[in-house]
Amino acid sequence: MQRLVSLILFLAVWWIASLFAGPQMLPGPERVMAVVVAQARTGELFVQLGVTLARVACAFSVAMLAGTAIGLVMGRIRIVDRLGDPWLIVLLNLPALVVIVLAFIWGGLTETAGILAVAINKLPNTIVTVREGSRALDRDLDEMAQVFAIPRWKALRHVVLPQLAPYIAAAARSGLSLVWKIVLIVELLGRPNGVGFEIGTAFQLFDVPTILAYALSFVVVILLIETLLVQPIERRVSRWRIRAA
Amino acid sequence: MSPAGESGRLEISITCKSYVAPSGARLEVLRDVVFGIGPREVVALVGPSGCGKTTLLRIVAGLDPDFEGDVVRPAAGRLGMVFQEPRLLAWRTVEDNVRLVAPDADAATLTALFDALELGGHRAHYPGELSLGLARRVALARAFAVDPALLLLDEPFVSLDQPLARRLRQQLMALIETHGTATLLVTHDPEEAVSLADRVLLLSSRPARILADIAIPTPRRARSDAEVQATLAALRARLAAIGSSP
C-alpha cells in the first residue's frame, strides 16, 4: 500500500515538474509511456533490454564468482591479504571510465572486453565484502569439520558458504545496481546495441522521451529481478533464522 | 586385519606443551603426560579447572600440532568428538548435521541412534530451536554416527542440571557399551568420571602431570552405589589435596 502511494506521488511530482520545465526538457509521464508502448510494439524495446540484461548477467556472474573466491582466500590467508590489499585499493579507486576505455583499447571493441570491464569495476567491492565475512568465519566449526574429516568441497558448501551467505547477498544487492549502471556506459562507448547505445543515440538527437523510456523500462526489469529472484533466494537461504526466531 | 591388541590402542606421550602468553612469558601447560587407552576402554581425565585438560584433548584430536612428543591414534577407524559447546551448523537440520559427517550411515542405524538419544521427534528441527540439553545430544549423535574407533568428549554435560546430566550419562553409557568405542573423557566432575570410566587419570595443576591412575575394575553396569561412593570419596580427597576442590 505504501509502495503504491509512493509510486503515485512520484508520478505526480514528475507530472508537475514537466509542466514547469516544458516538454523539451522533461516530457510528462504520458509522453514517455507512449514511447515505451511504441518501442514495445516494434519489439525494439525488448531486444535492447534483452541485450543489456544478458551483459548484466554475464558481468555480474563473473564479478560475484571471482570476487567471492578471492575474498574468501584473502580473509583466510594472511599473506595473500597483505599482498593483495594494495592491489585492491588501486582497483577500488580506479574510475570506471578508465577501466572501460583501457579494456576497449587493449581488448578491441569486443563483447568480452566490455563484459570484463564491467566485471572488473564490480570485483573489488565484492572482494571487500566477502573478505569481511571470511574474517568472521567461526573457527570452532572449522575445527569440527577437521576432526570429523569432512572433505574440503563439502565443508566449503555446508560449513563455510552458509556463513558467508549474508555477505554474498549484500554484495549481490549493491552489485546488481552498480553493474547495470556501468553496462550502460560500456554500451555507450563501445557496443552497437543495448539500452546504453539507444540512450547515446537519443542523446545526440536530444530525444528526452526515448532516454527516459529506456531508463525507466530497465529500472522496472531490475525491480522485477529483485522481487522475483533475489528476495525469494534470500528467504530460502535464511529460513533457518526465521524458524529459530 | 591387524591382530587385536596394540593396533587399536591410543598411545599418548607428550613430553612438553607450552605456549607464549601475551606478556611474552612462556607458559608450560603439560609436562610428561604419558598414557594409553586400549580398545573398548573408557578413560576419564580429571583435574583442577584450567590445568590443561582441554589442551590435551585438542592435541589428541590433532587440532594442535604444536607440542613435543607423540600421539599415536588407532590405525583404523574414524575419530568422533563432542566439544564443550555443541558446535552444530545452525543452518542445517538436526538430521542433516549428523548426515554431513556420516554420509554412508544407513537409515536404520541413524534411526536407532536418534531413538537411543530421544531425538526421534527432533530430526527436522534446526539447532536454534533446541535446548542446550537437546543440542548436546545431537552432538553426541553426530560423534557416534561415524562409528568412531576413538571418541573424545570434552565436558560433554557441563552446565546442565544434575538430573538431566545423569540421564544423558546413562544414554552415553549405553551407546559406549553397544558401540564398544575407546573413549577419552575430560571432566571436572568426579562423579561423572567415576560413573563412566574404567580408569580415572588425575592431573595436577599447571603444568599438568598425571598424579594418579585409578582403575575401577568392576564393569560400569555392575558397580554398587557403595563402591561408586567410596571411589568418589577417594578421588575428591585427592583433588582437595592438590588445592582445588571442584
Residues of chain B contacting A142 with CB distance shorter than 8 Å: none
pLDDT exceeds 80 at position A60: yes
pLDDT given at position A177? 84
Q: Of A142, A143, A147, which to mutate for an interface test with B (greatest number of B Cβ within 10 Å)?
A: A147
Q: Whose CA is closest to A81, among A31, A148, A128?
A: A128
Residues of chain A contacting B91 with CB distance shorter than 8 Å: 162, 240
Phi/psi for A229 (5° steps) reads -120, -60
**Residues A211, A5: Cα–Cα separation, whole Å:** 25
Q: Does B62 contact A at CB distance below 8 Å?
A: yes
Min Cα distance A177 → chain B (Å) is 29
B90/A240 touch (CB, cutoff 8 Å), yes or no: yes
pLDDT exceeds 50 at position A47: yes
Q: Facing residues of B20 across strands?
A: B26
Q: Does B40 contact A at CB distance below 8 Å?
A: no
Q: How confident is the model over B112-146, as pLDDT tens digits?
A: 999 988 898 999 999 988 999 899 999 999 999 99
**Residues A16, B192: Cα–Cα separation, whole Å:** 79
B79/A159 touch (CB, cutoff 8 Å), yes or no: no
pLDDT given at position A23? 83
Query: Would you say the ipTM is above 0.95?
Result: no
Mean pLDDT along residues A17-38? 90
User: Searching chain B, which residue's CA lies closest to the CA of residue A143?
Assistant: B63
Phi/psi for B183 (5° steps) reads -135, 135
DSSP string, A154-204: HHIIIIIHHHHHHHHHHHHHHHHHHHHHHHHHHHHHH-SSSHHHHHHHHHH
**Residues B167, B111: Cα–Cα separation, whole Å:** 20
User: Searching chain A, which residue's CA lies closest to the CA of residue B62?
Assistant: A147
pLDDT given at position B1? 34
Higher pLDDT, A130 or B243: A130
Mean pLDDT along residues A102-127? 94
Residues of chain A contacting B81 with CB distance shorter than 8 Å: 144, 147-148
Helix (H) / strand (E) element for B79: namely: strand B79-82
User: Searching chain A, which residue's CA lies closest to the CA of residue B82?
Assistant: A144
pLDDT exceeds 60 at position A242: no
pLDDT exceeds 90 at position A24: no
Which residue from A140, A147, A150 is facing B61, i.e. has the nearest CB? A147
Min Cα distance A102 → chain B (Å) is 44
**Residues B41, B5: Cα–Cα separation, whole Å:** 12
Which residue from A143, A154, A158 is facing B63, i.e. has the nearest CB? A143
Per-residue pLDDT of chain B (246 residues; tens, 9 = 90+): 333 344 578 888 888 888 888 888 888 888 888 898 988 889 999 888 777 888 899 999 999 888 888 888 887 788 999 999 999 999 999 999 999 999 888 889 999 999 988 898 999 999 988 999 899 999 999 999 998 989 999 998 888 888 888 888 888 888 888 888 899 999 888 888 888 889 999 888 888 888 888 888 878 777 777 788 888 888 888 877 776 444
Q: A59: pLDDT confidence band, cut at 50, 70 and 90?
A: very high
pLDDT given at position A243? 53
Q: Does B35 contact A at CB distance below 8 Å?
A: no
pLDDT exceeds 80 at position A244: no
Q: How confident is the model over A143-202, as pLDDT tens digits?
A: 999 999 999 999 999 999 999 988 998 898 888 889 989 999 999 998 999 999 999 999
Residues in A whose CB is inside 8 Å of some CB of B read 140-141, 143-144, 146-150, 154, 158-159, 162, 240-241, 243-244
Written as nine digits, the cell of A204 is 545526440
pLDDT given at position A235? 81
Give A32's Cβ-side CA count (13 Å radius). Answer: 20
B126/A240 touch (CB, cutoff 8 Å), yes or no: yes
pLDDT given at position B7? 59
**Residues A145, A160: Cα–Cα separation, whole Å:** 10
